[in-house]
Amino acid sequence: MTPLLLANMFDFSFLPRYASYFIRGVEYTLILSAAAVLLAIIPALLLALMRLSKVRALRWVSGAYVAVFRSTPMLVQLSIVYFGVFYAIQLPSYRLFGFIDVQMFVPGVVALALNSAAYVAEIFRAGILAVDQGQTEAARSLGLTQAQTMKLVVLPQAIKNILPTLANELVTMIKESSICGTIMGIQELMWGAKTVATTTHLMMSPYLLAAAIYFCINFPATKAIEAFERRMRRGDVR
């Protein structure tokens, strides 16, 4: 490693002037990721129920959706949504909270949510299947319909089982959202690092700072999820 490259890696002299890029990038990243995961939950639950349905057409449609979105790159999906769907749909020029451009934010959230729904659907399906079949049989023997059994008995237990995995999906989405800044120019954390690197000609330290910030967000979140999961397992043993 040359002395020039080593100096470039640890040159953070840009921070006093450009710290706001990273602060705003963190805010944008967290809002974008949380909105995408929340938007994905309802479609994912519907997809999971369709996959468990006795109607073959519903199983085929949901299975095809999951297969397509899990088997194609996020970059391709984002490009189709942004340059295709939202090229035809004109969104109003408006800024949420003064810094979120709706014309870029909405396509980013939709693309991330469509992708996340395919994975969250499998999480829901696994959680539903993990509920003991005897619970369903007991509910039906008490006179509950299939829909009531799913709503009142199965889903509450399934949601408890999948909460840690769903939280992990949010952590994954925080990392996946970086592609939005690269393709669409959304002002999230990776966009801030790229802008600073281009402006200052420091091609290492801005990205190292971005990596450190991602780590500081995701590593503690992952450990918290693991602790929560262990606590839930102890509760099940009791």
State the DSSP string of 37-91. HHHHHHHHHHHHHHHT-S-HHHHHHHHHHHHHHHHS-HHHHHHHIIIIIHHHS--
Return the pLDDT at 221: 87
SS3 for 186?
coil
Token pair for 162: 């999948």
> Phi/psi class of residue 201: alpha, beta or left (left: φ > 0; alpha: ψ in -120 to 50)?
left
Return the pLDDT at 233: 66
Return the pLDDT at 141: 81
Token pair for 186: 């959304």
Token pair for 7: 């100096």
| Parts of the chain with a pLDDT under 70 | 1-9, 232-238
How far apart, in whole angstroms, are the C-alpha atoms of residue 150 and residue 136? 8
Here the CATH number for the domain that contains residue 193 is: 1.10.3720.10
Return the pLDDT at 6: 61
pLDDT tens digits for range 200-231: 888 888 899 999 999 999 999 888 888 877 77
SS3 for 210?
helix
Number of domains into which the chain is organized: 1
pTM over 0.75: yes
Contact 106, 30 (CB under 8 A): no
If one counts every other C-beta atom within 10 angstroms of the C-beta of residue 49, the result is 17
Domain that includes residue 124, residue range: 3-237
Return the pLDDT at 170: 84
